[in-house]
Amino acid sequence: MTTASPRPARAALPPGSRLPALLQTALFLAAPGRASRRARRRYGPAFAVRFLGFPPEVMVTTAELAEKIYALDAGGARAGEVRRQFLEPLVGRHSLLSLDGDPWWRHRKLLSPPLHGKAIARYGEDIAKIAAAEIARWPQGTPFALRDGLQNITLDVILRLVFGIQDTARLARLRRLIPELIAVGGSPALLLTPPRISAWTQRSPLAKRLTFLPTTRFLRLKEAVDQLLYAEISHHRAHPVEGATDVLSRLLEAQDEDGTPLSDEELRDELITLLEAGHETTATALAWAFERLLRTPEVLAALRKELKQGTSERYLEAVTKEALRSRPVVYNAPRLLDAPLKLGRHEVPAGWRAGPLISLIHRDPEVYPDPEAFRPERFLGDDAARAQKGWMPFGGGRRYCVGAQLALLEMRVITREILTRLDLTAPEAAAELPRLRHVTLVPAHGTRVVTHRRPPS
Ligand code: HEM
């Protein structure tokens, strides 16, 4: 008698809540931190979640597991596909955020050099000037949301240093239109409009007149912004400036291996991409840095001391890193799996999403003892290498944030400018809670502060 050889046991799916997707979505939207911490406690470092309208997802909460997901950027998963659904209406079809495969790689090779450390090294002085002009406009003695003021600075950095806009009228129009475009483009009313209705509103002459429709408002704003961007691109083409350092000028000169430059449409899409990915994120990161600094007086005092001495910026750099660790702006960097992914004894099927949950990876007590404490010293001295290893506010793998060096430079320069010009206090002692805004976590009240000008030292 022959006995059938035992079949290899099928790896189990990652564990997770059995609540209906609607309820899981509602719980996550209401309190993302609490919901993910509870899942981590109950199911371990890799758990499954189901959100309404999305494929099932495994979220991982350690750096080792995250690296397994990032490794798939070389083949086996797509990041662009995950982002396309939300971003394509704004960033178009030729965006580093939403492309995958060879077209993505071509764009990545063209966009990386102008955003690299050496290329942006000279931006420091210009960022300081932009910050100083904006800080001078902030109210004194009355509470306001610091994040709004920070966003004016980071928008100007993109418009003037990345797009290289000199024309003051065009600059003024873009300063007004872009925040509106981004607000309407990311509004729940637009994101929840069914694709068929959205397609109809784009075609129908009648819908184009119904300005109360979110899709119509979005299209009108987008057209107005596009007109200005195409005008800027053709101005740059017609009047190239020798030695210009803005990113657009460098992109106009860039060519791929076949000698093909980016077309106007590709340039437009990439400019909007850099704006969408780089302006609110950096302002939010700075808002969190101040939210933490104002509630950790000993860290603020140590930072002020270093800035006063003016001989080193080591502690400033560590403060920036600790702010991005303790309050990462982008909480998750998911990929769509093209092939099954083994995670320990679990197997995640193709077609699922797999996301490093950055907000919990940064709270792993094995890597960051006392993770709730705001302690820049983690990134200095003997512990620095360990802290750095688990630090991933800019994601990882081949899709690592292309603007990370610019963001870190902005954070250092703007923090320094604010602290040397202003005394700041938080009108409320309680910490601000994180609130979900698209794919980011923002301070619930935009970091409320009261400022007073410091006498020149
Ligand atoms: C503190 C500010 C910022 C944070 C926290 C941040 C975070 C991130 C994260 C988490 C990703 C996804 C990485 C992944 O999937 O593994 C990303 C991608 C990206 N970021 Fe940033 N970012 C910031 C600033 C910027 C700036 C200033 C720019 C450009 C001016 C920028 C441009 C981009 C682009 C184009 C991508 C897509 C890269 C690709 O898929 O190849 N970001 N960023």
What confidence tens digit (pLDDT) does each residue in 363-408 have? 999 999 999 999 999 999 888 999 999 999 999 999 999 999 999 9
What does the block give as tokens for 9? 């046991």
Atom of ligand 1 nearest to the CA of 408: 1
Q: Which of 190-194, 216-220, 243-247 has the lowest mean pLDDT?
A: 190-194
Could you tell me if residue 32 is left (phi over 0), alpha (psi between -120 and 50 degrees) or otherwise beta? alpha
Task: Give the type of residue at 388.
Answer: Q
Which element (helix H / strand E) includes 320? helix 314-326
Q: What pLDDT does residue 123 have? A: 96
Average pLDDT score, the chain:
93
Position 439 scores a pLDDT of 85
Helix (H) or strand (E) holding 341: strand 341-343
Query: Can you give the pLDDT at residue 194?
Result: 67
Query: Residue 352 belongs to what domain range?
Result: 21-164+244-453
pLDDT of 11 over the 90 cut: no
Instruction: Please report the pLDDT score of residue 421 as a whole number.
Output: 97
Q: Please tell me if the CB atom of residue 174 comes closer than 6 angstroms to any atom of ligand 1.
A: no
- Mean pLDDT within 163-184: 92
Mean pLDDT within 146-151 = 97
User: Which whole-number Å values give the CA distances from 268 to 31, 79, 272, in the listed order?
Assistant: 36, 21, 6
Question: Is beta strand 341-343 parallel, antiparallel or unpaired with respect to 346-348?
Answer: antiparallel
**What average pLDDT score do residues 95-112 get?**
96
Non-local (6+) Cβ contacts of 243 within 8 A are: none
Q: Is 285 in the pocket of ligand 1 (CB under 6 A)?
A: yes
236 lies in some domain? no
CA of 96 to the centre of ligand 1 (A): 10
Residue 399 lies in a domain: yes
Report which ligand 1 atom has the smallest distance to the Cα of 273. Answer: 35
- The pLDDT of 241-265, averaged and rounded, is 91
Q: What are the DSSP calls for 257-311, one per residue?
A: TTSPPPPHHHHHHHHHHHHHHHSHHHHHHHHHHHHHHTT-HHHHHHHHHHHHH-S
**In the numeric block, which tokens belong to residue 271?**
């400019």
Contact 257, 306 (CB under 8 A): no
| Closest protein CA for atom 2 of ligand 1 | 282
Task: Look at ligand 1, atom 6, and give the residue with the nearest C-alpha.
Answer: 394
Domain containing residue 297: CATH number = 1.10.630.10
Which one is predicted more confidently, 62 or 206? 62
Alpha-carbon span 193 to 215, nearest angstrom: 8
Q: How far apart are CA 406 and CA 48, in angstroms?
A: 34
Is 46 inside any structural domain? yes
DSSP assignments along 149-199, one per residue: HHHHHHHHIIIIIIS----HHHHHHHHHHHHHHHHHHT-HHHHTS-HHHHH
Q: Is residue 169 part of a domain?
A: no
Evaluate whether residue 220 is within a structural domain: no
Residue 444 Cα to chain centre, angstroms: 17
396 pocket-lining for ligand 1 (C-beta < 6 Å): yes
Tokens of 176: 């007004």
**Residue 354, beta-bridge partner list:** 58, 335
C-alpha of residue 234 to centroid of ligand 1, in Å: 27
In this predicted structure, the answer to whether residue 4 has a pLDDT above a threshold of 80 is no
Q: How far is the CA of 205 from the centre of ligand 1 (A)?
A: 37
Segment 62-83 mean pLDDT: 96
Mean pLDDT of 105-123: 93
Which residue is it, tokens 């017609």? 238
In which band, very low, low, confident or very high, does the pLDDT at 5 lie, cut at 50, 70 and 90? Answer: low
| Residue 201 predicted with pLDDT over 60 | yes
Query: Where is average pLDDT lowest: 25-29, 152-156, 163-167, 186-190?
Result: 186-190
Query: Percent of the chain scored above 70 by pLDDT?
Result: 96
Structural domain includes residue 13:
no
Q: Which pLDDT band, with edges at 50, 70 and 90, does 196 fall under?
A: confident
What is residue 443's predicted lDDT score, i.e. its pLDDT? 97
Note whether 140 and 428 are within 8 A (CB). Answer: no
- 402-439 pLDDT tens trace: 999 999 999 999 999 999 999 999 999 999 999 988 88
What percent of the residues of the chain are helix, what percent strand, and what percent coil, each to the nearest 5? 55, 10, 35
Q: Is the CB of 357 under 6 A from ligand 1?
A: no
Pick from 356, 347, 449: which is nearest to 9 by CA?
347
Tally Cβ neighbours within 10 Å of residue 188.
9
Q: Is 403 in the pocket of ligand 1 (CB under 6 A)?
A: yes
Which range, of 214-218, 289-293, 298-302, averages the lowest pLDDT? 214-218
Contacts of 360 (CB under 8 A, 6+ apart): 36, 37, 40, 61
Measured from the CA of 411, which atom of ligand 1 is nearest?
1
Is the CB of residue 161 below 6 angstroms from any atom belonging to ligand 1? Answer: no
Q: Enumerate the H helices of 341-433 as residue ranges.
A: 358-361, 384-389, 404-421
7, pLDDT greater than 70? no
Tell me the C-alpha distance between 387 and 93, whole Å.
37
* Whether pLDDT at 315 is above 60: yes
**273-294 pLDDT tens trace:** 999 999 999 999 999 999 999 9
**Domain total of the chain:** 1
Which of 401, 412, 440 most suits a substitution to test ligand 1, by most atoms within 8 Å of the C-beta? 401
Length of the chain: 457
Q: Let me know if residue 187 belongs to a domain.
A: no
Q: What is the pLDDT of residue 192?
A: 65
Q: How confident is the model at residue 1 (pLDDT cuts 50, 70, 90)?
A: very low
Examine residue 190 and state whether it is found in any structural domain, yes or no.
no
How many angstroms does the Cα of residue 273 sit away from the middle of ligand 1?
10
